[in-house]
Chain A
């Protein structure tokens, strides 16, 4: 037992132990702990033994072993808290209006806080459910593009297999490639995306199966479905064992046996699949998929490392593959280095990685910041209400404070009392807030975007968050009133010499800030709404109404479908094209000898301009699609302007080696949504064999029937191929939905801000009027009319309101201008109409609030007011 170098347990835990353990147990337990510690030192490292010691001490903190701590036995704090609680409840019930304003305001703000939490949790939990998220890495590489190093998420094709064979630390590898196919089961024929992958995919990622076996993916003839796809084709039935036909293109198809259906995916994920088939099927799907081609890429390669620490060793071994790649490609495509991105952080980093498999949610991370900002703002607004009302009602509590102080309460204790009262109020608000979040905010937002945040009350972190919100809000809103109220001297209070009116500068400042903020919110909202309406009406530069399109598998299908549709009397024009406005375009480099110039290109036929109603400004459009116009192009205004042609028609330039001549100019049109600026665009004559789109224009008002007719004709001609077309107007439908949602969310926040500020104003007004009952009674007796009384009530608020508008309106205007011009390439012309509308709304609300009190004063009987003593 004699230890030459005695080691001692850490000091602080021992002190803590001595502090809380019953005296009669102390010797025994301290001895036990010491003995155990010495044992641990022999077994483990010194540091681990210390850690275990501290942990054990914490676990000793149990009621049965604790002594009655001295300060607890001296004072019965329980009674005191009981009294505080009773006083707070009575206070709440005594003044229901104020309590409602306080609790409702705080609840709404807390509701938004809970919503912000739910959203942040959902975003940060994306792809975090994979058990091996720290061991599985995406292989990425850096390459210089346009002078800056950029990270790419794709991988040279042969690399995956080589890594698996060469490196001992790489346990598993899976490559992922995606393809568009048509899947057919009995009468169900749909366009689908299949994921070609190695069988290890299901071992490296955590996607448990509902039916079937994971290992079946080793068989090249197996296919595994996700749950929604299984339901789409087979309903609730277990499809394992059935056969589906997958058509890779017109000539190649293959029957697959269903060997598995995945369980429902977690809500927050970006790496997912519809269909999984073995990677080797790439040999079947296309004739020339070369697995050993260093110049070509595979969509993604994931590796699984035996130990996370070994990723450095793996990274060190990559130089060899860099050389192989350099030998195969041109200099500008050379890879400068490889890097590995763990699955755990892939989603957060995906914004910086090009073409990586994990979808980026950068906007979600930005939204989190916005939500935090808005939550804090609303909390501040609600707290201001509390502070204002609490300081204004302080007079009613002066006697209580005087009595408490004279029987021995220190200022600290009074502050503590008011803060604990605040915790009670905030606690009620918290309950209402959580209910609001769960019943309105979260389901509402989920409904707007059609997703599920998977919010659960059972999340332990949520409770920690709620406690933090509770304490933070109570202290933030309660600290100033409690300090303010507790500062009065006992003698003054009890003598009745303490007088304080409603002239508290802090109250005025806070009210002013509230009104200013709601003014800013209002201006932003009105201008956003105006912009949304403007965008919905903005001209596309062509006429998307009564126009529709469909994607074609080949040229023969165009001829058949066009022949059929032209017979329809409602169809005005039918045209074929390789690309289509709003759907697809090519990017071509023009050669002017001394410089190169990049433009969007659409290959179309002669009817296209009439079909889409693109407006011709100069020259002519194509006349002949077979012969003479082959070397002609029609350009848009912007292209002429960008190149600097004043007389564009007749200009010539080269593409590769052939020469082209400009024969016409069309008005600028939006090929992309209004978020992206318009680009220089030109039209060429399409080769008939390449037609991929059929577009047509229907007579006005016959859009619906014609579209049905188009679908029916398609189904008759090509029963094996799914119809893939739509209304031209709907191409950006989703985009308009998005803008509408933004504007709705803004309106909600703005409404809340205004309601909060309005409630605050209302609360203060009520108190002010109630406190001046006698004054108003005397005024009325002496003959004061509506004008006089109204002026008396509203004067001080008018000034505040005026100041708030003067500050808030310009700030809101500048803010809206900045936000709109940064997020929309095309937005409404800025004017002050939005500001005027916002100010009018605010003034109306302000006057309504004022009028409630003015009518109250007008109606009451001055005799009653004078009787009150």
Chain B
């Protein structure tokens, strides 16, 4: 996991990008994540995560349409690369593996 260097928040953003498909641009990602995490996020945190992951090769991006609401500015649509999908599924496997081993590790786990 270490060599992929994907932070927890980055992973969430990446998953959101993958889920949103063609709608994956800044504000929409923020909206979606806020709804799921039930907390406010800043544009800055989303943007820096996106730019960082683009630099690491998890994301590619291209300009999309421009709307009046955006003051005539174009959106930038992000999409997850094949490498990103692979890393994501690796991480999921690791997690699933860990989860499945919990009951045998802790007998008297009361509250989870």
The interface size bin for chain A is 20 to 34
A-B contact count (CB 8 A): 73
B74 touches A62 (CB 8 A): no
With beta carbons under 8 angstroms apart, the residue of B44, B48, B52, B75 that contacts A31 is B75
Q: Does B104 contact A (CB under 8 A)?
A: no
A59 touches B69 (CB 8 A): no
Q: Does B51 contact A (CB under 8 A)?
A: yes
B44 touches A59 (CB 8 A): yes
A28 and B63 alpha carbons, distance in the complex (Å) = 8
- CB neighbours (8 Å) of B47 from chain A are 25, 29, 32, 60, 62, 65
- CB neighbours (8 Å) of A39 from chain B are 27
Shortest C-beta distance, B83 to chain A (Å), equals 20
A62 touches B44 (CB 8 A): yes
A60 touches B43 (CB 8 A): yes
- CB neighbours (8 Å) of B51 from chain A are 25, 64-65
Shortest C-beta distance, B73 to chain A (Å), equals 3
A64-B48, A65-B47 in contact; A31/B71 too (CB < 8 A)? yes
Q: Does B58 contact A (CB under 8 A)?
A: no
A29 and B61 alpha carbons, distance in the complex (Å) = 13
A34-B69, A38-B69, A65-B51 in contact; A59/B27 too (CB < 8 A)? no
Shortest C-beta distance, A6 to chain B (Å), equals 9
A28 touches B73 (CB 8 A): yes
B48 touches A62 (CB 8 A): yes
- Which of A27, A32, A60 is most buried by chain B, counting CB atoms within 10 A of its CB? A32
B43 touches A29 (CB 8 A): yes
Q: Does B12 contact A (CB under 8 A)?
A: no
- CB neighbours (8 Å) of B63 from chain A are 27-28
A2-B68, A25-B51 in contact; A59/B73 too (CB < 8 A)? no
A34 touches B71 (CB 8 A): yes
A125 and B36 alpha carbons, distance in the complex (Å) = 41
With beta carbons under 8 angstroms apart, the residue of B27, B45, B52 that contacts A32 is B27
A36 touches B27 (CB 8 A): yes
With beta carbons under 8 angstroms apart, the residue of A2, A28, A56 that contacts B44 is A56
Q: Does A755 contact B (CB under 8 A)?
A: no
B68 touches A30 (CB 8 A): no
A35 and B68 alpha carbons, distance in the complex (Å) = 9
A2-B68, A29-B26, A64-B48 in contact; A36/B43 too (CB < 8 A)? yes
B43 touches A28 (CB 8 A): no
A28 and B25 alpha carbons, distance in the complex (Å) = 9
- CB neighbours (8 Å) of A65 from chain B are 44, 47-48, 51
A27 touches B73 (CB 8 A): yes
Query: Considering only CB atoms, which chain A residue lies closest to B61 in the complex?
Result: A28
A172 and B76 alpha carbons, distance in the complex (Å) = 57
Q: Does A61 contact B (CB under 8 A)?
A: yes
Q: Does A1 contact B (CB under 8 A)?
A: yes
Q: Does A240 contact B (CB under 8 A)?
A: no
Within 8 A of A (CB), among B25-82: 25-27, 30, 42-45, 47-48, 51-52, 63, 66-71, 73-76
- Which of A25, A30, A31, A64 is most buried by chain B, counting CB atoms within 10 A of its CB? A31
A65 and B50 alpha carbons, distance in the complex (Å) = 10
B74 touches A31 (CB 8 A): yes
Per-position 1/0 for B79-99, Cβ under 8 A of A: 000000000000000000000
A36 and B25 alpha carbons, distance in the complex (Å) = 12
A28 touches B48 (CB 8 A): no
B75 touches A28 (CB 8 A): yes
A34 touches B73 (CB 8 A): yes
A350 and B35 alpha carbons, distance in the complex (Å) = 50
Q: Does A33 contact B (CB under 8 A)?
A: yes
- CB neighbours (8 Å) of B76 from chain A are 27-28
Shortest C-beta distance, B4 to chain A (Å), equals 19
A36 and B75 alpha carbons, distance in the complex (Å) = 13
A32 touches B69 (CB 8 A): no
A29-B43, A31-B66, A36-B43 in contact; A64/B71 too (CB < 8 A)? no
B70 touches A59 (CB 8 A): no
With A27-B76, A62-B44, A62-B47 given, can you name 10 additional A-B contacts, CB distance below 8 Å?
A27-B74, A28-B75, A29-B26, A29-B43, A30-B73, A31-B75, A34-B71, A35-B27, A56-B44, A64-B48
